[in-house]
Structure 1
Amino acid sequence: MLDWIQHLMQSMGYIGIALLMCLENVFPPIPSELIMPLAGFTASRGDLTFVGVVIAGTVGSVLGALPLYYIGKVVGEERLVKWADKYGAWLTVSGDEIRKADDWFDRHGHKMVLFVRLVPGVRSLISIPAGISGMPLPKFLLYTSIGTALWSTLLASLGLLLGEHYERVEQYLGPATYLILGGLLLYIVVSVIRRRRRQK
């Protein structure tokens, strides 16, 4: 993986960074925690500029968020509600609950599009509920651009500071990703158990 990322970045420069960050949103096994620190390290050697690296990472990440946004938009609230009413009983999810969740996203979730971009492991997934809720595309692009610019700047800066040891960024953030995903999974399991107990 690392050799492929290095080769693509060396051969394609900024376009390679943008392409990698675009793919990272769609294929999570390609980690931004490795791409952007390597790009920052490359900038520290003078092969690329730091600003160019951040812009390329941001543009690629925003482009990669669009397919997930449109998947959510195609599915839409009504289709999801119908699916939940028909098949959601085993997950104890009803159409009414999906409507309530969607209403909450309409009121508060737009800010989450920005903040979740800074959370390893789930940062790309927020595009789906944004699409489902019908979040206006200009607002989605604005919040996504701000969040991904901050994330790209942070990771590239760490790569700049760590130099040849840029791989440590992924080593440190990797466990954090698993903790976050594990916490979300635990929350879902506990929520399902509680709901089933209330139903009984």
Structure 2
Amino acid sequence: MHAAGAPGAALAIALENLFPPLPSEFFLPLAGFTAAQGKMSLLDAILWTTFGSVAGALVLHWIGAMLGRDRVRRIASRMPLVRVSDVDKTEAWFLRNGYRAVFFGRMIPVFRSLISIPAGIERMRMAPFLAYTAAGSLLWNTALILAGYLLGDNWHLVEQYVGIGSKVVLGLVVVAIIVFVVSRLSKSKGRTTPRSKVSDPRS
């Protein structure tokens, strides 16, 4: 960011979208701190990082579009414990909530990157996708950049506190996966276990 300024911050955020382990809660407050040092303007930091967010989201949208609905259904049909009906239910939910999911998903750690893939799979119209992605990203980026700008040398505190939220989200995802697997295994076991024969008391 010192070397490339605001475009460097945009590149960092674009890569964060493509590789979620790179945390935006680190890059964005750092961009704010860099702006506070006068290395870039605050407005440039916000606009360029939002541009980077949209650019990264576009790549993931393209990946989802390349996968396509039929290919995802074929992959699901070959996966253990997953049914094609699970994909259909997810698709139906996304069709009902797609625009809201994209907007609010941009402000949820982990999901802020992944939400662009189902949008691509469902071939969400590009103009609304860009608008909702940009709006959600602008709010998220502005909040974290301003926090880093105002905290100054203590900008790293933002990463610590927002990082807790990321861990909570990841924990909830893990719990949901475990519940899903246990539930599906229980149902499969119930279908495959033969019923014991009950003797007729009259015989």
Q: Same fold (TM over 0.5)?
A: yes
- In the alignment, structure 2 segments of 5+ residues that lack a partner are 191-203
Aligned residue identity for 2:179: V
Match of 2:40 in 1: 48
CA RMSD of aligned residues (A): 1.3
* Contact in 2 for aligned 1:20/1:60 (Cα 8 Å): yes
1:94 is matched with which residue?
A: 83
How far off is 1:36 after superposition?
1.2
1:30: how far off? 2.3
Residue 140 of structure 2 aligns with an amino acid whose one-letter code is W
Structure holding more helix per residue: 1
Percent identity between matched residues is 42
- Larger CA Rg, structure 1 vs 2: 2
Gaps spanning 5+ residues in structure 1: where?
1-8
Give the Cα separation in 2 of the matches to 1:97 and 1:171. 36
Q: Give distance in 2, aligned partners of 1:108 and 1:22.
A: 25
1:116 to 87, 105, 120: 105
Question: Equivalent of 1:35, from 27, 42, 45?
Answer: 27
Match of 1:157 in 2: 146
| Greater Cα shift, 103-112 or 145-154 | 103-112
Cα distance, 1:171 vs. partner?
1.4
Q: Which residue of 2 aligns with 1:4?
A: none
- Structure 2 residue 119 is the aligned partner of structure 1 residue 130: yes
Q: Secondary structure at the match of 2:112?
A: coil
Name whichever of 149-158 and 105-114 sits farther off.
105-114
Report the residue type matching 1:135 in the other structure. M
> Once the two structures are superposed, what CA deviation does each residue of 1:154-184 show, in whole Å capped at 9, x if it has no partner?
0011001111110111111222211211111
Partner AA of 2:40 in structure 1: L
Corresponding residue of 1:73: 65
My pick for the range that moved more, 154-163 or 189-198, is 189-198
- Stretch moving more, 58-67 or 118-127: 118-127
Contact 1:37-1:159 at 8 Å conserved across structures: yes
TM-score by structure 1 length? 0.89
Secondary structure in structure 2 of the residue aligned to 1:77? helix
Q: Which moved more, 1:102-111 or 1:49-58?
A: 102-111
